[in-house]
A and B are shown apart, each in its own frame.
Chain A
Amino acid sequence: MKKKRNRNSAQGVWIFGDYRNYFQDRVTLQLISKGRDLAQTLETEVAVLVLGEGIHQYAMEYVAHGADVIIAVNDSRLKEYQVETYTTVVAEIVESYQPEILLGGATSFGRELFPRLAKRLNTGLSADCVALEIDPDSGLLIQTTPAFGGEMLADVVTPNHRPQMATVHPGIFKERPHDSSILGRILYPEIDIRPDERIQLVRSRPHRTGKTNLEGADIVVAGGRGMGPKEEFDMLYELAELLGGEVGATRPAIRAGWADEERLLGQTGKTVKPKLLLSLGTSGALQYTAGIQGAETIIAVNRDPNAPIFKMADLALEGDARSIIAALLEELRKRL
């Protein structure tokens, strides 16, 4: 990859290396994998941008997972993730090398950095994509993003601005296996780093969850009107604990006092994207399903076979939620 002086020819599929939670958040590795596919179609290379201090270990990991090139800026002033400083540094590098595509994981940081960066580069950006493909006719990157809370999907393109930028939802693409025999190149561009004094990280500590951590939960046990009254609904707290999950609730269940307001799922409550969502005794009203449709697997239990919730369930059980959960708890208690 060479520094480009000609504005009309851009190349390279670049990925922002978001290594802060390296072992839990695999999205950079997932993007390297997809980036390889895109790069192959475009007949170019995959590069990963890594900024920070002591980043060499991550550079090696990224190469082992498929990166052709690492573009590294190793500096103590970049030790903490910081949007304003990172924007200036990345923008400068992007302007010299002019990659065709720049991707990032839709982590909290990614979703803060990329818009600022896109504005700085005066280019287009799509958020939280669930699919990426190269259009065979135009060669453009088709960025598929959810709209209207996931009700619709929008295929977005950036026809006239570069790089084509997108943040990508974690878990969409599969990372390639680690292969330490792969070789890659590391570039060390000289960048003038001017940290932004206006913003200072006073303290950063691992987030201890409050009473509920619905948005971060891998498993959500959601109860609706069909799980009442309170004595029956309370079974869900035990179930959640046994499965290592969190309890959510629909508006009717909260109104009835079976769960606190902070457990509300849906349009006026929380949106969750767990690996597993158990939807128990819920009919599937739109205000509720808007908050759960991003779940990877949905298991629904309802006594009405025509409840709308069944249309979005991977596993659907027709019956009285309370008796089924009681039977399930009996079985689980035996095992644990």
Chain B
Amino acid sequence: MHLEPTMKQAVIRRTARKYAEERLAGTAVDMDVTGEFPMDVAREMAGLNYFGLEIPSKYGGAGLDPVSSAIVIEEVSRVCGAMGLCLAVHNGVSAFPVYQFGNEEQKREFLVPLATGEKIGTFCLTEPNAGSDASSLETVAVRDGNHFILNGNKIFVTNGGVSGINLIFCIDNPGEEKKRFSVFIVESERDGLEKGPSEDLMGMRGNPVCPIALNNCRVPMEHQLGKEGEGLRIALSTLSGGRLGIAAQSLGIAQACLDASLKYAKERHQFGQAISDFGAIQAFLANMATRIEAARLLLYRAAGLRSRGVEYTKESAMAKLYASEVAVEAARCGVQIHGGYGFTKAYPIERYYRDAKVCEIYEGTSEVQRLVIARNVLK
């Protein structure tokens, strides 16, 4: 069991951190204030393989291992949560399933533009009546000759506002008692796919989260990902991997909270000394540091299992559950350490507080993660 980063991972971390600190710090503030997605920055990042982290180079990606990929997402999220979210979702639940389940033609047509960042991807699962209860979704795909006709409403689609390729999760045998699920690759320009206005969010602002409606959307059967009825398996496998991205992204936010708190605590003086000298503050910092370390190790363990092709459902649920809760806790303590200043926009900690919360909700709420873990340990 080797717990230290390799030379390669150290360089990857340094490279991502340098880019994020130089290029994304201003972007993070702009995105939060304007709510606009920075397409120019995204294009620049695409050229550096940020949109094809784990996809092999023959399809235009970087071919990184899961731990290295987690490091990149963490470093981006540490500076800009909204962009880290974009990458985590694009890489984890949009590009990767096309790589894992697509045939060669689909890879050529869809995976390459995703991996090169030419098109940004989404994974559309949630609906107005189907959140945690995902299987009660109502979007249907009806066969019509060589096509399927899709009808339904997807909401809270991360990256939706700027996506070019969307994975739509739906039922392909409406009317039958035992539901059968499929995933379809649908281009944003396709007739019948309609995007709604982006949500006005508490945090992760600038990520264009929007509803996507399918209105008699005619999709060639070649766009069905995987075999008939494989949809559920694809969804479960994809979500398992996607959790690692969210864990990494949560970890980045937590680390940002710790870094900001350390800096502030050393500079802020009260009662004639730096507040970092006081036990109460030190307790906060020690707890934050310890929990972040634990979250990191859980994440890398899960990523390591994924690397080796070993079953990792339980570990990825643990990683996502723990890291997201650590991020929210770190943000809470961070604001507390900053005192009154933490409640103002003069310091970034208030943005981290708003960004962190959703980590406990999307891609499987903490409650769902607990069910998944329990099911696994009770086996």
A interface, CB within 8 angstroms of B: 255-257, 268, 283, 304-308
What is the predominant secondary structure among interface residues of chain A facing chain B? loop
Cβ of B194 under 8 Å from chain A: no
15 A-B residue contacts at CB 8 Å?
Answer: A255-B25, A255-B26, A256-B26, A257-B26, A268-B22, A283-B267, A304-B267, A304-B269, A305-B269, A306-B267, A306-B268, A306-B269, A306-B274, A307-B267, A308-B267
A257 to B27, CA, bound (A): 11
A257 CB contacts on chain B under 8 angstroms: 26
Instruction: Beyond the given A283-B267, A304-B267, A307-B267, please list 12 additional residue pairs across the A-B interface where CB-CB is below 8 A.
Output: A255-B25, A255-B26, A256-B26, A257-B26, A268-B22, A304-B269, A305-B269, A306-B267, A306-B268, A306-B269, A306-B274, A308-B267
B268 CB contacts on chain A under 8 angstroms: 306
B269 CB contacts on chain A under 8 angstroms: 304-306
A255 CB contacts on chain B under 8 angstroms: 25-26
In the complex, what residue of chain B is closest to A254 when comparing beta carbons? B26
B262: min CB distance to chain A, Å = 13
The contact string, 1 if C-beta is below 8 Å from chain A, for chain B 290-333, is 00000000000000000000000000000000000000000000
B26 CB contacts on chain A under 8 angstroms: 255-257
The contact string, 1 if C-beta is below 8 Å from chain A, for chain B 245-276, is 00000000000000000000001110000100
A309 to B22, CA, bound (A): 22
A256 to B268, CA, bound (A): 23
The contact string, 1 if C-beta is below 8 Å from chain A, for chain B 270-290, is 000010000000000000000
B267 CB contacts on chain A under 8 angstroms: 283, 304, 306-308
In the complex, what residue of chain B is closest to A255 when comparing beta carbons? B26
B interface, CB within 8 angstroms of A: 22, 25-26, 267-269, 274
In the complex, what residue of chain A is closest to B25 when comparing beta carbons? A255
A169: min CB distance to chain B, Å = 31
B25 CB contacts on chain A under 8 angstroms: 255
In the complex, what residue of chain B is closest to A285 when comparing beta carbons? B263
A283 to B269, CA, bound (A): 14
Q: For A255, A283, A308, which residue has the most chain B Cβ atoms within 10 angstroms?
A: A255
B274 CB contacts on chain A under 8 angstroms: 306
A256 CB contacts on chain B under 8 angstroms: 26
In the complex, what residue of chain A is closest to B27 when comparing beta carbons? A255
A283 CB contacts on chain B under 8 angstroms: 267
In the complex, what residue of chain B is closest to A283 when comparing beta carbons? B267
A308 CB contacts on chain B under 8 angstroms: 267
A306 CB contacts on chain B under 8 angstroms: 267-269, 274
In the complex, what residue of chain B is closest to A261 when comparing beta carbons? B22
A257 to B268, CA, bound (A): 27
A168: min CB distance to chain B, Å = 35
B22 CB contacts on chain A under 8 angstroms: 268
A62 to B134, CA, bound (A): 89
A283 to B266, CA, bound (A): 12
In the complex, what residue of chain A is closest to B21 when comparing beta carbons? A251
A307 CB contacts on chain B under 8 angstroms: 267
Name the 3 nearest CB pairs between A and B, nearest first: A255-B26, A306-B269, A255-B25
B303: min CB distance to chain A, Å = 31
A268 CB contacts on chain B under 8 angstroms: 22
In the complex, what residue of chain B is closest to A252 when comparing beta carbons? B25
A257 to B267, CA, bound (A): 25
In the complex, what residue of chain B is closest to A256 when comparing beta carbons? B26
In the complex, what residue of chain A is closest to B269 when comparing beta carbons? A306
A256 to B26, CA, bound (A): 6
A291: min CB distance to chain B, Å = 16
In the complex, what residue of chain B is closest to A268 when comparing beta carbons? B22
A304 to B269, CA, bound (A): 9
B172: min CB distance to chain A, Å = 49
A305 to B268, CA, bound (A): 9
In the complex, what residue of chain A is closest to B23 when comparing beta carbons? A255
A97 to B124, CA, bound (A): 85
